[in-house]
Amino acid sequence: MSGGIDSTIAALMLNDEGYEVIGITMKTWDYAASGTSGKKETGCCNLDSFNDARLAAVEHGFAHYVLDIREEFGDAVIENFVDEYLAGRTPNPCVMCNTHIKWNALLKRANMLDCEFIATGHYVNVREENQRYVISKGIDDTKDQSYVLWGLTQECLSRSKYPLGNFHKTEIRQMALDFGYPELAKKSESYEICFVPDNDYRNFLRKKVTGLEERVDGGDFVLTDGTIVGKHKGYPFYTIGQRKGLDIALGKPMYVININPDTNTVVLGDEMDLERDEMLVTRLNMIKYETINDGMEAFTKIRYKSTPTSSNLFNDKGNVNVKFHEPVKGIAPGQSAVFYEGDDVIAGGIIQGGRMLE
């Protein structure tokens, strides 16, 4: 229970259905220790949200606990976040947190408290089919969160409940009103990274990595043919597909096409230079099937808000080579690729890179 509308209503729905509910709020990040105590705390680290979660639990007669997972979160999520940018990649911390931290931490506490299931306010559905637990999209396309849950194990899925999967967000807001929480019904949603409260990841990197700016400032902007066209502020401060904030004028819109951390080089090109027709995906987690058959057709999603693209999947030494039916733009190493069959998640993994069009 983060204190937001989705997790709160999920808990209250299950409570009304007769489940013995225990609310858990996770503290993942310590603003005071990080030097950002003057910033507004957001998401799962907001003290007001902690209090909102506790109040809802007390008013409905079930227990509430705060679970301190700052150490595990720092090791698995924040260090990975920093390391990935230093490797010239674009991380997805929410996927890392869901995969390695939240569900594991919840299951441990569930076992300690003799709870059979854990539940969250994600807009997804899970069912058992052919002795496997399958994630499928929530019915609200605008809120579907199956993309960020591709890393969950079969054990996690077998013990998870998602009460909101068959509802639209408008219905959940109405439920908040019906439960007597008008302020909760109006509560805005945060899309920021919880440990980057001002949404400035570049400043976060500067604070986390001593001397980073001095070390990387002044690298070369180059074109796809290798021509040097200017200097940049340091390769970790750019992402694939970025157009704004380059501070370079070349007479036409230019995009970040590639990042080379070894040479501190950022490659610029036209929008067409972002197109790829093939990519490699590693660190697979199989959901619907145990294996991928060569040539399997799937709709592949390369970002949370991207439109899935028709593709064929091929095994490649334990990884998957994705061949798109039409070129896609902005494939970013470090981001997640999720493969769908209809509304079902086949599998997911981490993007390693794409093949440029010839």
Out of 44, 45, 94, 97, which one is annotated catalytic?
A: 97
Tokens representing 142 are 């605008």
Crossing angle (nearest 10°) for helices 47-59 and 5-16: 10
Reported as a single tens digit per residue, the pLDDT across 154-195 is: 999 999 999 999 999 999 999 999 999 999 999 877 667 888
Reported as a single tens digit per residue, the pLDDT across 10-59 is: 999 999 999 999 999 998 877 554 444 444 455 555 678 889 999 999 99
Out of 44, 45, 115, 194, which one is annotated catalytic?
A: 194
Asked whether the predicted pLDDT for residue 148 surpasses 70, the reply is yes
Verify whether residue 97 is a known catalytic residue: yes
What structural domains and CATH numbers belong to the chain? Answer: 5-186 (3.40.50.620), 216-269 (2.30.30.280), 274-356 (2.40.30.10)
Of 356 and 203, the one with more pLDDT: 203
For residues 40 and 31, is the Cβ–Cβ distance under 8 A? no
Residue 187: the pLDDT is 82
Residue 44: the pLDDT is 52
Strand blocks (E) in the chain: 22-27, 63-68, 118-119, 124-129, 132-137, 160-161, 220-223, 228-231, 255-260, 265-269, 275-286, 296-301, 309-316, 319-329, 336-341, 344-356
Reported as a single tens digit per residue, the pLDDT across 251-273 is: 999 999 999 999 999 999 999 99
pLDDT band at 75 (very low <50, low <70, confident <90, very high): confident
Reported as a single tens digit per residue, the pLDDT across 273-305 is: 999 999 999 999 999 999 999 999 999 999 998
Q: Nearest to residue 265, comparing CAs of 208, 227, 212, 209?
A: 227
Tokens representing 351 are 């993007």
Verify whether residue 45 is a known catalytic residue: no
